[in-house]
């Protein structure tokens, strides 16, 4: 019973603590500034086609270079095939399953 009274007093104190607080009002012109910024036209920064083309060419070049490197490795190591080297590379790669 005394514990319930303590809880009730604590609740009342917490509610009464907010009784002297005044409502906050925005500064004059704040709403107009916000609406002005919302209605202002936006420039959407997208990558032009040239950047995508450069990225695709770079990726293609890296792939071709890795294939050429694999072919050279197969020539240096007798008894290996290109498919065997590629399979070894795939199997030794780390796979993370999150």
- Domain housing 67: 2-92
Q: Does residue 19 form part of some domain?
A: yes
In a domain, 51, yes or no: yes
- Cβ pair 78, 85 in contact under 8 A: no
How many domains, in total, are found in the chain? 1
Residues 44-54 as b or e (16 or more Cβ within 10 Å = b):
eeeeeeeeeee
Looking at per-residue confidence, does 27 or 88 come out higher?
Answer: 27
In the prediction, which pLDDT does 20 show?
77
pLDDT digits (tens, 9 = 90+) for 2-44: 788 888 888 888 888 877 788 888 899 999 999 998 888 877 7
Q: Residue 60: pLDDT above 90?
A: yes
C-beta separation of 83 from 90 below 8 A: no
Helix/strand/coil for 95: coil
Is 98 inside any structural domain?
no
């Amino acid at each position: 019973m005394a514990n319930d009274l303590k809880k009730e007093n604590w609740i009342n104190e917490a509610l009464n603590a907010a009784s002297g607080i005044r409502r906050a009002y925005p500064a004059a012109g704040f709403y107009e500034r916000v609406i002005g910024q919302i209605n202002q036209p936006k420039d959407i920064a997208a990558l032009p086609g040239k950047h995508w083309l450069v990225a695709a060419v770079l990726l293609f070049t890296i792939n071709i270079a890795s294939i050429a490197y694999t072919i050279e490795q197969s020539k240096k190591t007798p008894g290996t095939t290109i498919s065997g080297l590629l399979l070894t590379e795939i199997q030794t790669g780390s796979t993370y399953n999150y």
